[in-house]
Chain A
Amino acid sequence: MAYWEPERECMAREDLEQLQLERLQSTLYRVGTHVPFYKKRFDQLKFNYDDIRTLDDLRRLPFTEKQDLRDNYPYGLFAVPLRDVVRVHSSSGTSGQATVVGYTRNDIKIWSNLVARVITAAGVTKNDVIQIAFGYGLFTGGFGLHYGAELIGASVIPISAGNTKRQIQIMQDFKTTALVCTPSYALVMADAMMEMGINPNGLSLRFGLFGGEPWSEAMRQEIHQKLGIIATDNYGLSEVMGPGVSGECQECNGLHINEDHFLLEILDPVTLEPVPEGEIGELVITTLTKEAFPMVRYRTRDLTRFIAEPCPCGRTLKRMQRVMGRTDDMLIIKGVNVFPVQIEKVLFEVEGTEPHYQIVVERENHADKITVLVEVVESIFFDEMKKQRQVIERIKSRLASELGVGVDVKLVEEKTLERSEGKAKRVIDKRKL
C-alpha cells in the first residue's frame, strides 16, 4: 500500500487536531485582517479571535455562500495582493455570475501535493501513463490533476476534454494506464470503443480517477465491467481549491479527506446544525492553509456523510462518502429530511429492481405522502401477485428503516419511466404549500 505523505496521511488523531487548531487560528486571523468582507462580518459579530479555542468554536462564525463570491467578483475575497497571485481560475458562470479564485506559489505547491496524495491512493505511480481528459483552462480539473500527476512523476498526457475518437486513439497508441475524466465521460468512451470495434481489454488501461460530478455505485460497477479498471472517486471544488480535497484509496469505499488542509463539517441543510456522526447532510468546508483565497465555512450544497470506521488502507484521514447529490434535491417529509440518494441506495440493494425510479410526493389530508415508482425486471413484473407483494414489502421496510418515514411503493414495468438526457428527473413534488 503506497502513500504519498505517510507522516500526514496516517497521522494520529490527536496530532492532527492540534495541527488543525493551529492552522484554523492563524487562518481566521489572516482573513479577518486581510479580507474586508470577513473583517466586516467579524466586526459586526464582535468576534474575538481568542474565542476560537477548539475546532468546534468555528461554529460561531457565519457561512460563506456562492453568492458572496459573486458579490465580490472578481478579486474581492483575495487575501493577498495580486502581485503574489501566480494563477487565477474561474467557475463557468452557467448558473449565475462567474466566480474567481486565486493561488499563490505556495498554494500551487500544496495543491499539487494534495492531488499527488489522491493519485497515489488511487494506485497510480510514476510508472503510469496518465491521460487527463478533464478540461484545461479556467476550470480547475485539468490543471489540478496535471500538476499532481507530474509531481509523482507519472507521464502526463494533457489531452483535455472532448474529441472522443482521438482520446481512444491516443489511449491505444500511447498505452495509457490511467484515465482522468468525469465518470459519465468514461462510459461515453466505453460505448465509443464498442462502436469503433476496440476491445477495452486489449488496452493498457488499469486505473480510472473520476470526479467533477456525482455518480453512483451502479455507475462504478458499469465502468469496471466495461473498461476493466479500478475506478476511484475524487472530490474537490474550485471555491476551496479544486480537485484534491478528498479521494478514494483502492478500497473504493469512501474518500479520504485531506483534513490537515481542510476542515469539513456536515450540517443539516435546514437547521444548519451538525448532523449526528454518519448521517447525511450538507458539506461545509473551511480551508486551513490557503494563502490567496482562504474560505471560511463555505456551503458546498453537496450532500455526503462521514464514515467514521477506520479504513483498511491504514490512512487515518477520515473518509466521506462520495457526493450523493445536491441540497436542492432534498425533500422534507413530515419534518424528516429525505434524500433521493437514500432511496436509490436501498433500491440498489434489492434484487430484481432496475436503477430507474421516480419519487412522487403528495399531500393528502394535510399529511405528506411519498410514493416510490420502481422499475422491475420483466420476470418479477409478470410474476404472481404474491411474489410482487413480497418485493414491495421488502422495499417498503428497508426504506422505512433507512428514511425514518413510511413510504408507498409501486412496481412498474421496465422502461416505463421517462428517461432524460443528462440529469434524470427523480422527484415529482405535487404538494402545494
Chain B
Amino acid sequence: MLKIRNLDAGYGKLRVLKNISLHVKGGEIVTMIGANGAGKTTLLHTIIGLIKPTRGEIRFLDHANGRTSVGRIVASGCALVPEGRQVFAPMSVEENLLLGGYVLQKEQGRAAVLKELEHQYELFPILRERRRQLAGTLSGGEQQMLAMGRALMSKPKLVMMDEPSTGLAPLIVRDIFLIIRRLREEGNTVLLIEQNAKAALGVADRGYVLEVGKVILQGPAADLLANSDVQRAYLGREKIG
C-alpha cells in the first residue's frame, strides 16, 4: 500500500530523515518507534505532503506522493491523526466529525457521510453521548477519540497516527490501543508512530526503530520486543551487568 525508498526530508538545511526505506501492506498495523526528535512526525508530515522530500520516493497505492498536494493525498485515501489531537475546540463533536467527512461528501454525497458518522459513533460510543458538546470541553482521551473518528470519516485506506497515547492516563491509553486493534479487525491499515514502544509493538504486526533520522532496526513486532537494544533503549528494561 505504502512504499518508501531512500527518503530524505527536513526543514530548510536541517536534514531530519536520512535515507529512510519502509513499507506498509494492506491490513497491517506498522509502528515506527523512536525517541523525541528522531524524525517520526517529520516522516508522517512528509508522507501526507506537508513537507516536500528532498530526495527519495514515496509511493502510496502506486501514486507517487512526493510532489502532490496535501488535498490530493488525503483524497487518495491517506489520513492523519495529528499529535496533540488538534480538534477544533469551538465546534461541536459532530461538526468536527462532519468536517472529517468533507472528502467523502464530495465523492459520495451526504448519505455516505451520515452512514460513516453512524459508524464512528458505534466505534466511539462516548462521542455519540457528547455529540452536541464543544470539542474543547472534552477530556484528553475523548479528544483523541474524536481526532481518530474525524480522520476515519474520510474512509481512508491508510490511517496514520502520531503519538495517540501522549499525555493520556494509562487506562485511557489502554482504550486507545484497543480501538487501534479493532481498526485492524475492521480491515484498516495503520501506520502508528509512538514513543510508547511497548504498547505500540504490542498492537503492531511489524515495527521500525528510528534513531536520529535513520532506521536502525526493523522486523516483526514480536522480534523487536525481544531485541535487547530495543528493550534497553525504549522499553525501560534495566541495564544488567
Contact = CB atoms under 8 A, between A and B. Distances in A.
A105 B18 contact: no
A50 B17 CA distance: 11
| Closest A-B pairs by Cβ, 9 of them | A84-B228, A50-B19, A22-B21, A53-B6, A106-B223, A26-B215, A18-B23, A21-B21, A106-B226
A22 B217 CA distance: 9
B110 interface: no
A399 B184 CA distance: 60
7 contacts: A15-B25, A29-B216, A53-B6, A53-B19, A80-B229, A104-B228, A106-B223
B214 A18 contact: no
Given A26-B215, A26-B216, A50 B18 contact: yes
Interface of A: 15, 18-19, 21-23, 25-26, 29-30, 33, 49-50, 52-53, 80-81, 83-84, 104-106, 109-110, 289, 291
Contacts of B241: 83
B227 interface: yes
Contact of A49 (B23, B25, B214): B214
A66 to B, nearest CB: 28
Nearest to B239: A83
A52 B5 CA distance: 11
Nearest to B211: A29
A45 B240 CA distance: 35
The dominant DSSP class at the A interface is: helix
Contacts of A18: 3, 5, 21, 23
A53 B6 CA distance: 6
A19 B8 CA distance: 18
B217 A26 contact: yes
B219 interface: yes
B76 to A, nearest CB: 20
Given A22-B23, A26-B214, 4 more contacts: A19-B23, A25-B215, A53-B5, A83-B240
A61 to B, nearest CB: 15
A430 B11 CA distance: 68
A33 B211 CA distance: 12
Contacts of A104: 227-228
Given A21-B5, A83-B241, A84-B228, A52 B19 contact: yes
Given A18-B21, A104-B228, A26 B223 contact: no
Given A18-B23, A26-B217, A289-B219, A105 B6 contact: no
B92 interface: no
Nearest to B6: A53
Nearest to B215: A26
A83 B237 CA distance: 14
Contacts of A25: 19, 21, 215
Contacts of A289: 219
A291 B23 contact: no
Given A26-B218, A30-B216, A49-B214, A80 B228 contact: yes
Interface of B: 3, 5-6, 8, 18-19, 21-23, 25, 214-219, 223, 226-229, 240-241
A188 to B, nearest CB: 40
Contacts of A84: 228
Nearest to A33: B216
B214 A29 contact: yes
Nearest to A34: B229
Contacts of A80: 228-229
A78 to B, nearest CB: 12
Contacts of A50: 6, 8, 18-19
Nearest to B225: A106
A18 B219 CA distance: 13
Contacts of B3: 18
A379 B209 CA distance: 70
Nearest to A50: B19
Contacts of B25: 15
Most buried by A among B19, B21, B218: B21
A293 to B, nearest CB: 14
A35 to B, nearest CB: 14
A80 B232 CA distance: 12
A104 B3 CA distance: 30
Contacts of B215: 22, 25-26, 29
B54 to A, nearest CB: 11
Contacts of A21: 5, 21
B61 to A, nearest CB: 14
A31 to B, nearest CB: 11
A270 B29 CA distance: 47
Contacts of A83: 228, 240-241
B19 A291 contact: no
Contacts of A109: 223, 226
A219 B8 CA distance: 53
Nearest to B21: A22
Contacts of B228: 80-81, 83-84, 104
B59 to A, nearest CB: 10
B17 to A, nearest CB: 11
A367 B215 CA distance: 55
Contacts of B214: 26, 29, 49
A47 to B, nearest CB: 13
A107 to B, nearest CB: 10
A328 to B, nearest CB: 37
B126 to A, nearest CB: 37
Contact of B218 (A22, A49, A52, A81): A22
A49 B216 contact: no
B45 to A, nearest CB: 20
Given A22-B21, A22-B23, A53-B19, A291 B218 contact: no
A84 B241 CA distance: 11
A302 B229 CA distance: 34
A22 B19 contact: no
A33 B240 CA distance: 21
Nearest to B217: A26
